Amino acid sequence: MFWDKKIELLPREDLEALQMAMLKKTIRAAVKSPFYGQAFSENGTTPEKVKSLDDLRRLPFTTKQDLRSGFPDGFLTVDRNKVVRMHASSGTTGTATVVYHSQKDIDRWTDLVARCLYMAGVRPSDVFQNMMSYGLFTGGLGLHYGAEALGAMVIPVGIGNSKRQIAFLQQFETTVAHIIPSYSLKLLETFDEVGIDPKKDTGLRILVVGAEPHSEEVRERIEEAYGVFAVNSYGLSEMNGPGVAFECPQKSGLHLWEDSYVLEIVNPETLEPLPDGEVGEIVLTTLRREAMPLIRYRTRDLAMVHPGTCPCGRTHRRLSRIKGRSDDMLIVKGVNVYPIQVEQVLMAFEEVGNNYLILLDREGPVDQMTVRIEVTSALLAQGIEGLEALRAKIIRRLREEILFTPKVDLVEPGMIPAGDGKAVRVIDNRQPAYCTKLRRESGGSAEGSGP
């Protein structure tokens, strides 16, 4: 049942005492980094002043922008020689963000992922097919190491090549796979094509679905089609990647490992703390990271903590599904896209007016991004060939920028809803209405996150 029984079942009181002890250590270590050294002195904080978990609230937040400004070594607290690995965010806009890991960090991260997998029901006898991209992306290597540490046999197949994926699933009798939810749905088309029923003709029993926010409806579809437990995984590269929070078989939220992270939910506008049960921005503090501790990191992910205790007995609080993001990063087909990237491409074309709209839909199981561009009167002079050529050029440039091919629709003026005040640039039809509302209220315009 448990990978680390003592820790997983630790009474709240003891868990909080453990957090406090680790927090003090973390702050003492963090202050050695150029960024926190300066941030704390400006804030008037010394490690001694943090005596309770409530005192943590007096510390400044750390943002993605801070990580960018601190690029590459501003957050490092150990000698570079102690660093054994780095991971970086996609960094398609501006500077990438980098996270360094010491050997201890990798070991602890690996252990957390193993704990997650074990909780979900993965055992050493399992064959684990890792259908995620390897490399700078933390999802691939993170789960690879965790599954290996647990004792499963790992197939590091990576993403794509659907027919080979299916062949491996059968040939190696894969029982657990790690996969992007949208890809798991797309893969069903290939299953259909080759006449194999994933439910009957494979030994799959668990799918770890991460890296992409997805709805309960999608989970149900995946579970139904594959005949598996589709377990939701939450993580972000700044917090290692996967292994931050994971579902237990109760499927009533993701246990966030509070021996390794301090979890706060704050109102993204006022930054005031929110009680359990209320949706706000997830703020995390690392407790067991050596090379690059992060304090009060604003994840931009919106979620809530499920009140009450979990029937599984674990004391670590449960995070809801990610409801959206408080900033505007979009995840489309598993790729991070910022609306500003699209804007930059469009605005580089003199012929394109100011009005555009990014529409996100799910066409069947697959994300589809459509960019609507208003055709101005001036554009008509180029004739129909001119418009077609322009459209093709825009698609090509967008593809270069965002790494997948969007649809580009030329539309009549007025077909794009003009916002009063701040223009609506993104309409995401992939999320339940509740999330759209939430995003509007929070002033953001976009989507969730994953490892």
Partner 1 sequence: MRAKGVSGIVARQVVVFLENRPGHLAHVTGVIAQEKINIRSVTIASAGSFGLVKLIVDRPEEAHEALKKRGLSANLQEVLALVMEDRTGGLHTVLETFARKGLNVKDACGFVEKPGEKAILILEVEDLDAARGIARDAGFRIYEEELHRI
Binding site for partner 1 (CB under 8 A): 374-381, 383-384, 387-388, 409-415
- Tell me the CA distances in angstroms from 166 to 186, 194, 303, one per residue in order: 12, 9, 34
Closest distance of CB 351 from partner 1, Å: 12
Closest CB to partner 1 among residues 24, 372: 372
Closest distance of CB 369 from partner 1, Å: 16
Closest distance of CB 87 from partner 1, Å: 41
Closest CB to partner 1 among residues 379, 427: 379
Closest distance of CB 328 from partner 1, Å: 27
Residues 6+ apart with CB under 8 A from 417: 357, 424
Closest CB to partner 1 among residues 21, 415: 415
DSSP string, 303-362: E-EEPS--TT---S-EE----EESS--EEETTEEE-HHHHHHHHHTSTTS-S-EEEEEEE
Closest CB to partner 1 among residues 264, 374: 374
Closest distance of CB 391 from partner 1, Å: 8
What are the φ and ψ backbone dihedral angles of 297, each rounded to 5 degrees? -80, 125
Rounded CA gap, 120 and 349, in Å? 50
Closest distance of CB 389 from partner 1, Å: 10
Rounded CA gap, 283 and 319, in Å? 12
Contact 96, 88 (CB under 8 A): yes
DSSP state of 62: B
Closest distance of CB 332 from partner 1, Å: 21
Closest CB to partner 1 among residues 374, 428: 374
User: Which residue in this structure is represented by tokens 């490092």?
Assistant: 76
Rounded CA gap, 196 and 272, in Å? 52
Specify the amino acid at residue 252. Answer: S
Closest CB to partner 1 among residues 44, 419: 419
Residue 247, strand partner residues: 254
Residues 6+ apart with CB under 8 A from 333: 182, 366, 367, 369, 404
Rounded CA gap, 218 and 347, in Å? 35
Contact 278, 306 (CB under 8 A): no
Closest distance of CB 410 from partner 1, Å: 5
Closest CB to partner 1 among residues 381, 433: 381
Closest CB to partner 1 among residues 414, 421: 414
